[in-house]
C-alpha cells in the first residue's frame, strides 16, 4: 500500500463523475454512486481511479470551470462523501487521483468576482490577465487571439478592460506570476493530499506560465512554427513552468508515500520529458496513440519512442486510447485508417461510416497491446464495455462549449460523456433511478454491464481477464521486439510474456508458447487473426 512507485505500472481508470453512476436519481452522477460501484471497480482489476473534476461548477466546460477548489459540487456530494470514497477505495486496495485545474478558474470563482468588482489596476485583477482594448475607446480586443473552443480569446468586462481566456469565456486564465495564486494552489494540493488523495492529474500543465509582451503579437505570429525558440513561447510550454512544479513536487514529496502527479501537456514528445521528470510532476500523458492510425509501423514507432522518452525522464510511459476529450476508440478504429486522426469530423454517425464490428475488434486488440506494455495504462470509463461514441445527441441536448463556440466545425465531446449503461432496461439503463443528463441511445442496452457479466466473450470480461493477468505478469519495465513481419507488432517482456498484434489482413501463426488470452473470441489458440492481439507465455 505504501509503495512509492505504485503509479509506474498502474492501470488507472478515469471516471467522469457526472456520468458514471447516479445514487439520488437527479440524472447527474455523484460520489455516492461511484462509492456504490467500488466492487465493480475492484473486480475490474484496476489499480487506481482518477476522478475528473467534482468541484462546484456551473458546468460551462464539464466541471473544468472550477468555482471553488476545496469543495465538492453539492449536486455531486459533499466533503464527507469524498472522505468516504477515499477510505472505501483504499479499503478495496485502489488509489485515487484527482484532477487539478490550475490554468483557469471559472468566472464564478470568488477571485474573479473580486477582480470584476475591484477594477483596473487592482491587486485582485492581477490574479488574472487583464488588458486594455484596442480602438479609439478600447472597444476592440487587445489581440485577435482565438480560444480553444472557437471564438475570441479575450472578453470585455463592463468597465472596458478585457481578460484572457485560453478556453471558454467562463474560464479566465490565472496569472501564475502572482505569488498569491501559487500559494493558493499549494494550499489546495495539500488540502486534498491531507484527505488521502494519492495523486493529481494536472490539467493543461503546459499553459500556466505566460510572458505576454506590452505589444501583443498577432494570432498568426503566435502560431507560426519557429517564430519563438523552444521554451520561450509567450503562452505555451515555457521552461519556467517547471519552477511551479518544483514547488509542487517538494510538497508531494513531503507525504509518505509521495503523492504522484501526471501532466496533461500537449507538447512535442521531447518536451514531455521535463514534465515527467522526478523534479517536476513525475509523469506525463503520452497522447500519441490517440491519433495513431491502425498501422503496425506507426504503433511500433510510437511505442519505442515513448519508452525511450520515459527512460530519459526517469518516469514510466503512459498509454491512452480514450478519454473524456476524444472520440471513443471503439468508434475511432471503426472509421477506417484514413479518418482515424480526424474523428472529430464525426457528424452524426453517417459520415464517415462507422464499422462497429471492426472498430470493436481493433479497440480490443489495441487495448490488449497497451496493457502488455511497460508503464501506466489510463482507461476511460465505458471503454471496458466496448462502448462506441454516441453520435446521435440532439443539438439541444449538447453541453460541450466546443459545440456552441465552434458551430458546424465539430460536434464536441458529449458523445463520449453519455452516462454508462449498467443494465439493459430501466429509465437510464441502471445509471440511476432517474434520467440521465445526456440522452442515452436505445442501443446502449446491448452494452450494459449486467449483459456483459454473463457473456464470457464480452469486452468487460476481456478487460477483467487482461487486467488480472497483467497484474500477475507485470515485470521489469523493458521489452524485446520480435520480428513477425511488417504488419505485426510483437514483443516479449523479460519474464516470458509475449504480446502479438496483427494489423494486417493475413492470419499470423505463433507456436512459440502457451496462449494466455486473445482479444478475439473466435481465434483458435496460436492463431492471431487480423485485428487481434494475443498474449502468450513465451
Cα(387)–Cα(252) distance, rounded to whole angstroms?
36
Binding partner of 64, given Ca ion, ligand NOJ, none, CB within 5-8 angstroms per partner class: ligand NOJ
At residue 36, the 3 state secondary structure works out as helix
Binding partner of 44, given Ca ion, ligand NOJ, none, CB within 5-8 angstroms per partner class: none
Which CB atom, from 437 or from 470, has the smaller least distance to ligand NOJ? 437
In this structure, the dihedral spanned by the alpha carbons of residues 483, 485, 488 and 489, taken in order and rounded to 10 degrees, is 20
Cα(417)–Cα(420) distance, rounded to whole angstroms?
8
Which residues here bind ligand NOJ, judged by CB under 6 A? 61-62, 64, 101, 167, 203-204, 264, 324-325
Which CB atom, from 129 or from 489, has the smaller least distance to ligand NOJ? 129
**Contact string (CB under 5 A) for Ca ion, positions 15-44, x = contact:** -------x-x-x-x-x--------------
Q: Which residues participate in catalysis according to the annotation?
A: 203, 264
Label residue 264 exposed, middle or buried (CB < 10 Å: 0-12, 13-18, 19+).
buried
Burial 424-434 (b: 16+ CB within 10 A, else e): eeeebbbbbee
Binding partner of 30, given Ca ion, ligand NOJ, none, CB within 5-8 angstroms per partner class: Ca ion
Tell me if 490 sits within 8 A of 416, measured CB to CB: no
At residue 131, the 3 state secondary structure works out as strand
Binding partner of 448, given ligand NOJ, Ca ion, none, CB within 5-8 angstroms per partner class: none
Q: Is 78 in the site for Ca ion (CB under 5 A)?
A: no
Which CB atom, from 188 or from 532, has the smaller least distance to ligand NOJ? 188
Which CB atom, from 61 or from 414, has the smaller least distance to ligand NOJ? 61
Cα(428)–Cα(432) distance, rounded to whole angstroms?
6
Least distance from ligand NOJ to the Cβ atom of residue 61, Å: 5
Report 142-161 residues binding Ca ion (CB under 5 A): none
Which CB atom, from 15 or from 303, has the smaller least distance to Ca ion? 15
Binding partner of 24, given ligand NOJ, Ca ion, none, CB within 5-8 angstroms per partner class: Ca ion
Least distance from Ca ion to the Cβ atom of residue 28, Å: 4
Least distance from ligand NOJ to the Cβ atom of residue 323, Å: 7
Tell me if 296 sits within 8 A of 504, measured CB to CB: yes
Binding partner of 22, given Ca ion, ligand NOJ, none, CB within 5-8 angstroms per partner class: Ca ion
Q: Please identify which residue in the block is written with the cell numbers 465539430.
A: 410
| Phi/psi of residue 316, nearest 5 degrees | -105, 165
Cα(364)–Cα(56) distance, rounded to whole angstroms?
36
Binding partner of 453, given ligand NOJ, Ca ion, none, CB within 5-8 angstroms per partner class: none
Which CB atom, from 26 or from 184, has the smaller least distance to Ca ion? 26
Which CB atom, from 99 or from 529, has the smaller least distance to ligand NOJ? 99
Which CB atom, from 74 or from 225, has the smaller least distance to Ca ion? 74
Least distance from ligand NOJ to the Cβ atom of residue 207, Å: 9
| Phi/psi of residue 308, nearest 5 degrees | -65, -45
**How far is CA 453 from its chain centroid?**
26
Concatenating the DSSP letter of every residue in 447-484 gives: G-HHHHHT-TTSHHHHHHHHHHHHHHH---S--EEE--
**How far is CA 325 from its chain centroid?**
7
Binding partner of 167, given ligand NOJ, Ca ion, none, CB within 5-8 angstroms per partner class: ligand NOJ
Binding partner of 28, given Ca ion, ligand NOJ, none, CB within 5-8 angstroms per partner class: Ca ion
Which CB atom, from 206 or from 417, has the smaller least distance to Ca ion? 417
Least distance from ligand NOJ to the Cβ atom of residue 101, Å: 6
Bond before 257 cis per omega within 30 degrees: yes
Query: Residues, the chain, total?
Result: 538
Least distance from ligand NOJ to the Cβ atom of residue 51, Å: 13
Burial 452-485 (b: 16+ CB within 10 A, else e): beeeeebbbbbbbbbbebbeebbeebebeebebe
CB count within 10 Å of CB 443 equals 12
Least distance from Ca ion to the Cβ atom of residue 536, Å: 45
How many degrees, rounded to 5, is the angle at CA 460 between CA 457 and CA 464?
A: 95
Cα(446)–Cα(66) distance, rounded to whole angstroms?
35
Nearest residue (beta carbon) to ligand NOJ: 64
Report the interface residues with Ca ion, using CB under 5 A: 22, 24, 26, 28, 30
Amino acid at each position: 500500500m505504501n509503495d512509492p512507485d505504485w503509479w509506474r505500472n498502474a492501470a488507472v481508470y478515469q471516471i467522469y463523475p457526472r456520468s458514471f453512476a447516479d445514487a439520488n436519481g437527479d440524472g447527474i452522477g455523484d460520489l455516492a454512486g461511484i462509492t456504490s460501484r467500488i466492487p465493480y471497480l475492484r473486480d475490474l482489476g484496476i489499480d487506481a481511479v482518477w476522478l475528473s473534476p467534482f468541484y462546484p461548477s456551473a458546468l460551462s466546460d464539464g466541471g473544468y470551470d472550477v468555482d471553488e477548489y476545496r469543495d465538492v459540487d453539492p449536486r455531486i456530494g459533499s466533503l464527507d462523501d469524498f472522505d468516504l470514497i477515499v477510505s472505501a477505495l483504499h479499503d478495496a486496495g485502489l488509489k485515487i487521483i484527482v484532477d487539478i485545474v490550475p490554468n483557469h478558474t471559472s468566472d464564478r470563482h470568488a477571485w474573479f468576482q473580486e477582480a470584476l468588482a475591484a477594477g483596473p489596476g487592482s491587486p485582485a485583477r492581477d490574479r488574472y490577465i487583464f488588458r486594455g482594448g484596442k480602438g479609439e475607446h478600447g472597444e476592440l480586443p487587445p489581440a485577435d487571439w482565438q480560444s480553444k473552443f472557437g471564438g475570441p480569446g479575450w472578453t470585455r468586462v463592463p468597465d472596458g478592460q478585457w481578460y484572457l481566456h485560453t478556453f471558454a469565456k467562463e474560464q479566465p486564465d490565472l496569472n501564475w506570476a502572482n505569488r498569491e495564486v501559487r500559494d493558493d494552489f499549494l494550499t489546495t494540493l495539500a488540502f486534498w493530499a491531507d484527505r488521502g488523495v494519492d495523486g493529481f492529474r494536472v490539467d493543461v500543465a503546459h499553459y500556466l506560465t505566460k510572458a505576454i509582451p506590452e505589444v501583443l503579437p498577432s494570432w498568426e505570429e503566435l502560431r507560426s512554427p519557429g517564430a519563438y525558440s523552444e521554451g520561450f513561447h509567450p503562452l505555451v510550454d515555457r521552461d519556467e513552468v517547471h519552477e511551479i512544479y518544483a514547488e509542487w513536487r517538494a510538497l508531494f514529496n513531503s507525504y509518505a508515500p509521495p503523492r504522484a502527479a501526471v501532466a496533461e501537456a500537449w507538447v512535442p514528445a521531447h518536451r514531455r520529458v521535463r514534465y515527467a521528470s522526478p523534479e517536476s510532476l513525475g509523469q506525463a500523458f503520452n497522447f500519441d496513440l490517440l491519433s495513431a492510425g491502425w498501422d503496425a509501423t506507426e504503433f511500433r514507432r510510437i511505442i519505442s519512442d515513448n519508452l525511450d522518452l520515459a527512460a530519459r525522464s526517469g518516469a514510466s510511459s503512459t498509454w491512452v486510447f480514450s478519454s473524456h476529450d476524444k472520440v471513443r476508440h471503439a468508434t475511432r478504429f471503426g472509421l477506417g485508417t484514413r479518418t482515424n486522426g480526424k474523428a472529430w469530423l464525426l457528424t452524426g454517425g453517417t459520415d464517415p461510416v462507422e464499422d462497429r464490428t471492426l472498430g470493436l475488434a481493433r479497440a480490443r486488440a489495441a487495448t490488449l497491446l497497451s496493457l502488455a506494455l511497460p508503464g501506466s495504462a489510463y482507461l476511460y470509463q465505458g471503454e471496458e464495455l466496448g462502448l462506441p461514441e454516441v453520435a446521435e445527441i440532439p443539438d439541444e441536448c449538447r453541453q460541450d462549449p466546443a459545440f456552441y463556440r465552434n458551430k458546424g466545425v465539430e460536434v464536441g465531446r458529449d458523445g463520449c460523456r453519455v452516462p454508462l449503461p449498467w443494465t439493459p432496461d430501466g429509465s437510464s439503463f441502471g445509471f440511476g433511478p432517474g434520467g440521465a443528463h445526456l440522452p442515452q441511445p436505445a442501443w446502449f442496452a446491448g452494452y450494459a454491464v449486467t449483459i456483459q457479466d454473463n457473456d464470457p466473450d464480452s469486452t468487460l470480461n476481456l478487460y477483467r481477464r487482461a487486467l488480472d493477468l497483467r497484474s500477475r505478469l507485470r515485470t521489469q519495465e523493458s521489452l524485446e521486439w520480435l520480428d513477425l513481419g511488417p504488419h505485426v507488432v510483437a514483443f516479449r517482456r523479460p519474464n516470458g510474456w509475449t504480446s502479438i498484434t496483427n494489423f494486417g489482413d493475413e492470419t499470423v501463426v505463433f507456436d512459440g508458447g502457451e496462449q494466455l488470452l486473445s482479444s478475439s473470441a473466435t481465434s483458435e489458440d496460436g492463431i492471431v487473426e487480423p485485428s487481434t492481439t494475443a498474449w502468450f507465455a513465451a
